[in-house]
């Protein structure tokens, strides 16, 4: 099963772009990469998902290089409300088993 590695924590200031990189060296051919956001005392919430190259939605962008061994979540112009833990997941196609790592604790400062 593909395991993910992320930085434990990051600090940023309001209005800055934040990039969080996740390593997944053992990603399988049919695995997707998914990012979730979790606020204190809440369950994780889906942010974005991709398979290769670049995906963008109204909240974030996801960059995946050709070898797919890593991915980068990009949050444009963060605000204080983006302070949360961000999880990178690699879905193991066909077995329904997702591996959540320990996540990256992002703190946005005023």
Partner 1 sequence: DVKVTQSSRYLVKRTGEKVFLECVQDMDHENMFWYRQDPGLGLRLIYFSYDVKMKEKGDIPEGYSVSREKKERFSLILESASTNQTSMYLCASSLSGSAETQYFGPGTRLLVL
Decide if residue 102 touches partner 1 (CB under 8 A).
Answer: yes
d(CA 26, CA 24): 6
Decide if residue 21 touches partner 1 (CB under 8 A).
Answer: no
Cβ atoms of 5 and 99 within 8 Å: the answer is: no
Q: Binding segment for partner 1 among 11-19, 56-64, 73-81, 94-102 (CB under 8 A)?
A: 94-102
Instruction: Please pick, from the candidates 44, 59, 61, 74, the single residue that binds partner 1 as defined by CB under 8 A.
Output: 44
Quote the DSSP letter at residue 80.
Answer: G
d(CA 79, CA 12): 9
Nearest CA to 81 out of 32, 14, 20, 22 is that of 14
Decide if residue 5 touches partner 1 (CB under 8 A).
Answer: no
Q: Binding segment for partner 1 among 14-22, 44-52, 56-64, 75-83 (CB under 8 A)?
A: 44-52
Q: Binding segment for partner 1 among 18-26, 57-65, 68-76, 100-108 (CB under 8 A)?
A: 100-108
């Amino acid at each position: 099963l593909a395991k993910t590695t992320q930085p434990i924590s990051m600090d940023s200031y309001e209005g800055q772009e934040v990039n969080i990189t996740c390593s997944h060296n053992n990603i399988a051919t049919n695995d997707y990469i998914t990012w979730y956001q979790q606020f204190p005392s809440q369950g994780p919430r889906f942010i974005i998902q991709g398979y290769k190259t670049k995906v963008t939605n109204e909240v974030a962008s996801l960059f995946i290089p050709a070898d797919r061994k890593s991915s980068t979540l990009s949050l444009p112009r963060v605000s204080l409300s983006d302070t949360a833990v961000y999880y990178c997941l690699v879905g193991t196609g066909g077995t329904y088993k997702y591996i959540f790592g320990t996540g990256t604790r992002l703190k946005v400062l005023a």
